[in-house]
Amino acid sequence: MQGLIEPEDYVHVLGPKHSVLDELRAVCHTTGQEDAFYLCDVDDIVHKMQLWRQLLPRVRPHYAVKCNASRVVLSTLAALGAGFDCATKGEIEEVLSLGVDPSRIIFAHPAKPATHIRYAAGCGVNLATFDNEEELYKIRALHPKCKLVLRIRSDAEDAMVCLGVKFGCDAEREAPRLLRTARDLGLQVVGVSFHVGSGCREQKAYRAAIRAARLVFDAAAGLGIRTMKLLDVGGGYPGEPADEQVFLQMADAINSAVAEYFPSADVDVISEPGLYFVASAFRLAANVHSKREVRGDAGELKGVMYYINDGVYGSFFDVINRRRFRGEPLEPHDGAELVPSSVWGPTCDGIDKVEDDVKLPQLELGSWLVYNNTGAYTVAMACTFNGVPVPRVHSVVSTDTWMQLRDRAPFSDAHFVPSLATGRRHTSASLVDSPRRLALQLQVPVQYQVQY
Ligand code: PLP
């Protein structure tokens, strides 16, 4: 039996006395709840948008869908007026299904299959990136009205994942030739994009990239191209609370570089943050279903191997990229003896190891390990290898934030139900503020209602 029965379209409204952690516990203690699951805190996403707008008022974020395409994330960001960076036809479909206008999408993949370009043309997604000549010929044939953004390479030295090895042309050596080809094909290049690398910790990387983008704008002007009006400062921004200071410094660096190199308000500035918006909004709870004690020749306990129901083929794929995850037992364990331990995923594969060489209190079977800051590149990369299900997402929102979101497309009131922590699962009578709301059948999944 599975404990979480409600569709992921629901967002659970926390009562005034309840916290996100209360809800996490309530789900863990729901009868039959064994499967690993995520708890998504919608308020955290809203806070990130507020912070972004406060710190980077000139930069319009286009959320990078690849990072976490959960319905609740896309709906929240759509309701908050974000744009979207889609890399594939599937991602475009998902965003459009929320009723987002195609003009809010940038097709930000420099190497696109022909079918995906045709699809973009058919549904009115008219802004896309490129970094090579072949792409220009494809776009000329399949979507000649598409406005184009030239992706240049400008890598941070300090980033978790370097994307420049795969995408981005050289701003000085290659960009002028590509601009000339585009012009000669009658295509409209409107701007420049870059991605300094995911999980970047270096503000100067953005300054260098914006400066390089300026060179490309100047080269375009020299070629008689008068359509350049978009600067896309990509992704890479950190999203964990501990990194907020780093983000503040990055924002400063971006603001001052944009003011210096692109002082005219005629140039629109957009970005493609992924991790920033979702990292801290998600906590993963995984269940310890098995354990093995490791003993020495004299029978002494040397360590414990725990097996949990999510692993490297699920949420922890990024272990392959040497990202480290640390689980905390859900139950308090102050003063308990800590034992050398390792934590393993559920599949039969030997590489499916989540944590190595950690100290944990002795955990009973059925205990929960909680992994904070797991919104980015986790659930999005999970597969069902060995028949292991991908964890579902259980979302919560505070009453105040619910009041702000409830009437904003793609949300409607019917997406919001009370949290489990309130103990009243199937009525929101105590949380709603008008009789009209009370009349809604909260258990009936509704189509997202959308108007832009
Ligand atoms: N834009 C592009 C083109 C990307 O490839 C990525 C990540 O791979 C992103 C944006 C999002 O990056 P991040 O999650 O580091 O902000």
Burial class (CB in 10 A: 0-12, 13-18, 19+), 39: buried
Does 246 score more than 80 pLDDT?
A: yes
The H or E element that residue 151 is part of is strand 147-151
- Which atom of ligand 1 is closest in space to residue 151's alpha carbon? 3
**Which segments of 377-443 does DSSP mark as H helices, in order?**
399-405, 435-438
Average pLDDT score over residue span 67-92: 97
Q: In three state form, how does the secondary structure of 41-82 look?
A: EHHHHHHHHHHHHHHCCCEEEEEEHHHCCCHHHHHHHHHCCC
Point out the ligand 1 atom lying closest to the alpha carbon of residue 274: 14
What tokens appear for 125 in the block?
């997604």
Tell me the C-alpha distance between 34 and 36, whole Å.
6
DSSP summary character for residue 160: S
Q: Give the Cα separation of 151 and 108 in Å (integer).
A: 9
- 68 CA distance to ligand 1 middle (Å): 11
The per-residue pLDDT for range 90-132, each reduced to its tens digit, is: 999 999 999 999 999 999 999 999 999 999 999 999 999 999 9
For residue 270 and ligand 1, the question of a CB distance below 6 A is answered with no
In angstroms, the CA 232 to CA 269 distance is 6
**Domains of the chain, first to last:** 15-40+280-397 (2.40.37.10), 42-277 (3.20.20.10)
The count of other CB atoms within 10 Å of the CB of residue 31 is 6
Cα 203–chain centre separation = 21
Q: Please state, for a pLDDT cut of 90, what percent of the chain lies above it.
A: 84
Helical H segments across 262-353, by residue range? 275-278
Which segments of 200-298 are extended strands (E)? 230-232, 268-271, 282-295
Q: Is the CB of 375 under 6 A from ligand 1?
A: no
* Ligand 1 proximity of 275 Cβ (cutoff 6 Å): yes
Confirm if 79 and 405 have CB atoms less than 8 A apart.
yes
Atom of ligand 1 nearest to the CA of 193: 3
pLDDT at position 417 over 50: yes
Q: Please give, one letter per residue, the 3-state secondary structure of 170-221.
A: CCCCCHHHHHHHHHHCCCEEEEEECCCCECCCCHHHHHHHHHHHHHHHHHHH
Please give the number of the atom of ligand 1 that sits closest to the Cα of 376. 14
Question: How would you class 56 by CB atoms within 10 Å of its CB: exposed for 0-12, middle for 13-18, buried for 19 or more?
Answer: buried
Give the DSSP H or E segment for 107: strand 105-107
**pLDDT for residue 440:** 28
The structure tokens listed for 121 are 């043309």
Which ligand 1 atom is the nearest neighbour of the CA of 108?
A: 3
Q: Dump pLDDT digits (tens) for 170-206.
A: 999 999 999 999 999 999 999 999 999 999 999 999 9
Q: Are 25 and 367 in contact (CB under 8 A)?
A: no
Q: What residue's CA is closest to ligand 1, atom 7?
A: 198
Task: Give the pLDDT confidence of 384-396 residue by residue, as tens digits.
Answer: 999 999 999 999 9
Nearest residue (CA) to ligand 1, atom 14 = 274
312-333 average pLDDT score: 94
Q: Tell me, what's the pLDDT at 424?
A: 52
Inform me whether the pLDDT recorded for 41 exceeds 50: yes
pLDDT score, position 8: 72
| Rounded-to-integer distance, Cα 122 and Cα 345, Å | 42
How many other CB atoms sit within 10 Å of the CB of residue 175?
A: 26
Please work out whether the CB of residue 107 comes within 6 Å of at least one atom of ligand 1: no
Q: Rounded to the nearest whole angstrom, what is the distance from the C-alpha of residue 414 to the centroid of ligand 1?
A: 32
Confidence of residue 441 (pLDDT cuts 50, 70, 90): very low
Distance (Å) from CA 366 to ligand 1 centroid: 36
Q: How far is the CA of 273 from the centre of ligand 1 (A)?
A: 6
Residues 6+ apart with CB under 8 A from 196: 154, 155, 156, 159, 202, 205, 206, 209, 234, 236
Question: And the tokens for 33?
Answer: 């709840």
CB 361 within 8 A of CB 339: yes
The mean pLDDT of the chain is: 91
Asked if residue 110 has its Cβ within 6 Å of ligand 1, the reply is no
pLDDT digits (tens, 9 = 90+) for 210-226: 999 999 999 999 999 99
By annotation, the residues acting in catalysis are 348
Distance 309 CA to ligand 1 centre (A): 28
Is ligand 1 within 6 A of the CB of residue 273?
A: yes
Ligand 1 lined by 235 (C-beta under 6 Å): yes
Pocket lining: 15 vs ligand 1, CB cutoff 6 Å: no
ipTM: 0.99
pLDDT at 6: 55
Residue 152 CA to ligand 1 center (angstroms) comes to 14
Q: Is the CB of 67 under 6 A from ligand 1?
A: yes
| Pocket mutation for ligand 1, best pick of 62, 240, 272 (most atoms within 8 Å of C-beta) | 272
Q: Mean pLDDT throughout 34-51?
A: 96
